[in-house]
Chains A and B, each alone.
Chain A
Amino acid sequence: DSGVTQTPKHLITATGQRVTLRCSPRSGDLSVYWYQQSLDQGLQFLIQYYNGEERAKGNILERFSAQQFPDLHSELNLSSLELGDSALYFCASSDARAEEQYFGPGTRLTVT
Chain B
Amino acid sequence: DQQVKQNSPSLSVQEGRISILNCDYTNSMFDYFLWYKKYPAEGPTFLISISSIKDKNEDGRFTVFLNKSAKHLSLHIVPSQPGDSAVYFCAGTEGWGKLQFGSGTQVVVTP
Contact = CB atoms under 8 A, between A and B. Distances in A.
Nearest to A108: B41
Interface string B85-105: 000010001011111111110
Given A35-B99, A92-B43, A99-B32, 18 more contacts: A4-B43, A33-B99, A42-B103, A42-B104, A43-B89, A43-B101, A45-B99, A45-B100, A90-B43, A90-B44, A94-B97, A98-B95, A99-B34, A100-B49, A101-B34, A101-B46, A103-B46, A106-B43
A56 B96 contact: yes
Given A43-B101, A94-B97, A99-B34, A104 B43 contact: yes
A102 B42 CA distance: 12
Given A55-B97, A98-B96, A100-B34, A42 B44 contact: no
The prevalent SS among residues of A at the interface is strand
25 contacts: A2-B43, A2-B45, A33-B97, A33-B99, A42-B104, A43-B44, A43-B99, A43-B101, A44-B101, A45-B99, A48-B97, A48-B98, A58-B98, A90-B44, A98-B93, A99-B32, A99-B95, A100-B46, A101-B34, A101-B99, A102-B46, A103-B43, A103-B45, A105-B42, A106-B43
Contacts of B42: 105-106
A31 interface: yes
Interface in A85-103: 90, 92, 94, 98-103
Contacts of A44: 101
Nearest to A4: B43
A78 to B, nearest CB: 18
Given A100-B49, A101-B46, A104-B43, A31 B97 contact: yes
A102 B97 CA distance: 12
Contact of A105 (B43, B93, B97, B100): B43
Interface in A22-70: 31, 33, 35, 42-45, 48, 50, 55-56, 58
